[in-house]
Amino acid sequence: MKIKTRSLMSALALAAGLSQGAFAAQGVAFVHGTGQQSDAYNDYWTGSFVDTVRQGLPNINNYTVINCDFEQYMWADGAVGCLAEQLTTFINNKNITELTLITHSNGGNVVRWILSNPTWDSRFPNIINKVTRTIALAPSSGGT
């Protein structure tokens, strides 16, 4: 699914850019929905969507687009383990202190799993401590 709505992009850019601290390193992560993504930047979100949203960041390079296998159960290593690894790498490499997660559909479920199960994986507490907001677009609370 390609998300292209201009008003949605503008709202997300504004939401992602709201600063909570003068010296915070803000970042945004785009978490796709169901599927085995290898290029979610182009094939899921579209580059123009990502680029519009990241314009709201103090440093437009502090973003990542997640590519995982969300066809598995959310607690499977290929799903939540992949997401935790990519978020941890992003947080550490960019020294992110405030993280906004923008999710779609089943990606919101995988993020919710991390936020709701802090002791499941040793990487989760650091991720949870950095997340300042989650924007869930059409999360499939009843499953996909």
CATH at 84 = 3.40.50.1820
Does position 10 have pLDDT exceeding 70, yes or no? Answer: no
Q: Which domain holds residue 105?
A: 6-137
Q: Say what the pLDDT of residue 23 is.
A: 64
Domain assignment present for 133: yes
Q: Say what the pLDDT of residue 11 is.
A: 45
Tokens of 89: 């790498």
Q: Say what the pLDDT of residue 79 is.
A: 87
Q: Find the range with the poorest average confidence among 15-19, 85-89, 107-111, 122-126.
A: 15-19
At 132, give phi and psi (nearest 5°). Answer: -105, -20
Write down the mean pLDDT value for the chain: 84
Q: Say what the pLDDT of residue 144 is.
A: 61
What are the pLDDT digits (tens) for 70-109?
Answer: 888 888 888 899 999 999 999 999 999 999 999 998 889 9
What is the C-alpha to C-alpha distance for residues 39 and 99, in angstroms, rounded to an integer? Answer: 21
Domain assignment present for 123: yes
Domain assignment present for 142: no
What is the C-alpha to C-alpha distance for residues 96 and 143, in angstroms, rounded to an integer? Answer: 31
When mean pLDDT is compared over 10-14, 18-22, 70-74, 127-131, the highest value belongs to: 127-131
Number of domains comprising the chain: 1
CA nearest to 53, candidates 26, 35, 90: 26
Does position 5 have pLDDT exceeding 50, yes or no? Answer: no
Does position 6 have pLDDT exceeding 60, yes or no? Answer: no
